[in-house]
């Protein structure tokens, strides 16, 4: 699949933003006044920034509002609704924290659930596609959700929570890679079933239907950079999980304190964000859409 930067940016940033909102809503940290304003500003900037960036991949962004209609069947529609409701509920909660110095617990919990649910709907957009076997399994939502929660804990400065959650996220990401690498084979779909000619012999693509490229090849048969996938996976995992854990562990040392603490924590967040971005790039670039089989490609 073509790794569109706007979509990767969206899932990376808004995943982190909604993760932070979940921790704020659950009252794990309870800032008030100016402190609360800064926390909520960061969370909203990430979540809303991600959402805005996702509209750049629409052909007709001016019609984006129409996308809220079909929640009965469409995960994209559900995602849109869920995101807006989560942001509204958490907005109310933020007003209480910033201006009234109170934390409406029930509202916060509802907002936290909705925030996590939003990330789940995003994951389900990809998971639903039978046409992309690498995505069509439980490791996709597991990976999206665990990374969202681990990122939220990291950004919320919850060191003791963040380390185990990051390890959990790493396991989910690994599972997604391991299961994903075998998914196309395991799906049973090949050139034989695609053409219906498989039981007559070995099917080989003899001539494509067109001499140039087309939308299908550009969107679904993206192979650039696949050969570097193994290296990129190591880089992604290192930046997303290993480096943040080491940096967080350093903040726990008695000799490190004050500003150094904050610098280390900030570095951990940045490293994590870049790592998730790389992992998401791979999520798309490595995903094989079955339509490639009609071209003898994968």
Partner 1 sequence: MTTLPTSTDRKLGLVIDLDTCVGCHACVISCKGWNTENYGAPLADTDAYGANPSGTFLNRVHSYEVQPANDAPAQLIHFPKSCLHCEDAPCVTVCPTGASYKRVEDGIVLVNEADCIGCGLCAWACPYGAREMDAVEKVMKKCTLCVDRIYNENLPEEDREPACVRTCPAGARHFGDFADPDSNVSKLTAERGGMDLMPEMGTKPVNKYLPPRPKDRDRSEDVDILAPFLEPVAAEPTGFLGWLDKALTTMPGGKS
Point out which residues bind partner 1 (CB under 8 A): 1, 57-61, 63-64, 66-70, 72-77, 80, 125, 128-132, 187-189, 191, 193-197, 200-216, 219-220, 289-291, 294-295
Write down the least CB distance from residue 233 to partner 1, Å: 23
Residue closer to partner 1 (CB basis): 212 or 258: 212
CA-angle at 189, arms to 183 and 194, nearest 5°: 150
CA distance from start to end of the chain: 10
Write down the least CB distance from residue 134 to partner 1, Å: 13
Instruction: With beta carbons less than 8 A apart as the criterion, state whether 156 and 115 touch.
Output: no
Q: Report the distance separating Cα 242 and Cα 60, nearest Å.
A: 40
Task: Give the other-Cβ count within 10 Å of 39's Cβ.
Answer: 23
Instruction: With beta carbons less than 8 A apart as the criterion, state whether 93 and 104 touch.
Output: yes
Residue closer to partner 1 (CB basis): 67 or 95: 67
Helix, coil or strand: residue 210: coil
Residue closer to partner 1 (CB basis): 32 or 131: 131
Write down the least CB distance from residue 177 to partner 1, Å: 21
Residue closer to partner 1 (CB basis): 275 or 292: 292
Residue closer to partner 1 (CB basis): 58 or 266: 58
Write down the least CB distance from residue 131 to partner 1, Å: 5
Write down the least CB distance from residue 120 to partner 1, Å: 16
CA-angle at 245, arms to 242 and 246, nearest 5°: 85
């Amino acid at each position: 699949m073509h790794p569109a930067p706007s979509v990767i940016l969206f899932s990376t940033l808004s995943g982190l933003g909604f993760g932070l909102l979940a921790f704020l809503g659950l009252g794990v940290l309870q800032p008030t006044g100016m402190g609360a304003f800064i926390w909520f500003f960061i969370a909203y900037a990430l979540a809303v920034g991600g959402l805005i960036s996702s509209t750049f991949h629409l052909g007709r962004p001016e019609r984006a509002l129409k996308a809220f209609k079909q929640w009965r069947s469409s995960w994209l529609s559900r995602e849109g609704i869920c995101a807006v409701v989560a942001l509204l509920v958490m907005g109310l909660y933020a007003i209480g924290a910033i201006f009234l110095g109170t934390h409406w617990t029930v509202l916060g919990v509802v907002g936290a659930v909705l925030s996590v649910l939003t990330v789940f709907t995003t994951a389900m957009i990809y998971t639903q596609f039978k046409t992309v076997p690498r995505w069509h399994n439980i490791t996709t939502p597991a990976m999206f959700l665990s990374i969202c929660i681990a990122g939220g804990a990291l950004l919320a400065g919850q060191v003791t929570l963040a380390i185990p959650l990051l390890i959990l996220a790493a396991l989910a990401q690994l599972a997604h890679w391991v299961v994903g690498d075998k998914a196309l084979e395991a799906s049973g779909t090949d050139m034989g079933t695609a053409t219906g000619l498989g039981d007559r012999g070995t099917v080989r693509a003899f001539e494509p239907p067109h001499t140039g490229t087309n939308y299908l090849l550009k969107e679904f048969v993206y192979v650039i950079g696949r050969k570097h996938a193994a290296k990129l996976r190591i880089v992604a995992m290192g930046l997303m999980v290993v480096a943040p854990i080491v940096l967080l562990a350093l903040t726990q040392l008695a000799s490190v304190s004050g500003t150094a603490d904050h610098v280390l924590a900030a570095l951990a967040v940045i490293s994590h964000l870049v790592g998730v971005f790389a992992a998401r790039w791979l999520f798309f670039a490595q995903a094989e859409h079955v339509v490639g089989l009609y071209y003898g490609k994968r």
